[in-house]
Amino acid sequence: MRKKITLKDIARELEVSISTVSKALKNSEEIGRDTKEKVQAFAKLYNYRPNNIAISLKNKHTKNIGLIIPDIVHYFFTTVFRGIEKYANSRGYNVIACLSDASFDKEVINMEMLANGSIDGFIMALSSETQEKSDYNHLREVTEQGIPLVLFDSTTDEIECDKVVIDDEQIAYEAVKKMAGSGKKRIALFSTGAHYNVNKARTKGYLRALVDCGLEVDEKLILELPPEKNIDIIDPFLESNSIDAVLAVNEITAIHAMNLARKKGFRIPEDISFIGFTDGLLSKYAQPSLTAIAQHGDQMGSIAAHMLIERIESENEEEEEPVFQTKVIEATLIERDSTIN
């Protein structure tokens, strides 16, 4: 077992001081040619690499980004992760990912754990429980310590920090308008709980489109689905409301409903159209393929990482109150066979 070599080891071996070694490896002008060459050769031979932890302690930055998301077995978050990781890596950062698992407590614990020096900044999407409780003290705690924070997807107005979101309202509006435009009159909205900030925006867009298209707003057409086992609810709903289009706030619900509708003998998209949020694998490979709203997770991720790293690396200079920004990414409607084109 060839243990890692340190500056001290090199210094002892070469009979020079630690600082000489350090400077020699940095090609400092202070050190003479011969010594530099000797040290560099030795370091290369023994494959010397500076210890990240020691450097972190000294420089007070870790080159680590903390990422806290509700779930990872989830197409959208997965693409965001990829976007973050790729960008962060290109700037020499690594990402420590924690799953809050939709739990407020885990979110808090994870943040506290990482906030004690492990990371230079956070990127996070609020868990549903946190949104329900509207308790953002853990976020405040972190920002007050001067740790940069970027919120994405599910954010909150109560915390001042950089944010990157998609225009949920606008794209929901467009989706509904598209279906209305192809003659649909009874357009349903499948939601997953009003406490999700994104759901609120989507509902708003849905409603606005209805009004703009001169369609009746029927509260009964807005279906609130609990997290799991929606079948029992969707099935009778489909029966009784003579709906001819559905906008679903997530992919699974959309596919689920579409499968159910097909089994009931509805023709898609003629009898009933479907559009779902998240343009994942399910949408692509469904039969018929599902018209979907692409949230551009990769892009969101890389933008979030960019904003965060800029903030981290500019922290030294600026002393004045920072001015935060919210980047809005345009979602895209990917038209497939579940809608009339």
Note whether 40 binds DNA by CB under 7 A. Answer: no
Note whether 233 binds DNA by CB under 7 A. Answer: no
Strands lying side by side in the sheet with 187-191: 222-224, 187-191, 245-248, 273-277, 291-294, 332-334
Please work out the total of residues on this chain that contact a copy of itself, with binding judged by CB under 8 A: 55
Q: Which of 25, 68, 69, 282 binds DNA (CB under 7 A)?
A: 25
Note whether 28 binds a copy of itself by CB under 8 A. Answer: no
Q: Which of 12, 13, 27, 30 binds DNA (CB under 7 A)?
A: 30
Q: Rounded distance, CA 339 to CA 341, Å?
A: 6
Q: Is the dihedral of CA 109, 304, 335, 168 positive or negative?
A: positive
Please work out the total of residues on this chain that contact DNA, with binding judged by CB under 7 A: 32
Q: Where are the alpha helices (DSSP H) in the chain?
A: 7-14, 18-25, 33-45, 52-59, 75-90, 104-115, 128-133, 137-144, 168-181, 197-212, 231-240, 251-263, 281-285, 297-314
Using CB under 8 A as the binding rule, the residues of this chain from 279 to 308 that contact a copy of itself are 281-282, 285-287
Select from DNA, a copy of itself, none the partner in contact with residue 259, using the beta carbon and a kind-dependent cut-off of 5 to 8 Å. Answer: a copy of itself
Note whether 183 binds a copy of itself by CB under 8 A. Answer: no
Query: Would you tell me how many other CB atoms lie within 10 Å of the CB of residue 277?
Result: 29
Note whether 8 binds DNA by CB under 7 A. Answer: yes
Residues lying near a copy of itself in the complex (CB under 8 A): 1-4, 49-54, 56-57, 62, 64, 71-75, 78-79, 81-82, 85-86, 89, 94-99, 101, 106, 110, 112-118, 144-146, 252, 255-256, 259, 262, 281-282, 285-287
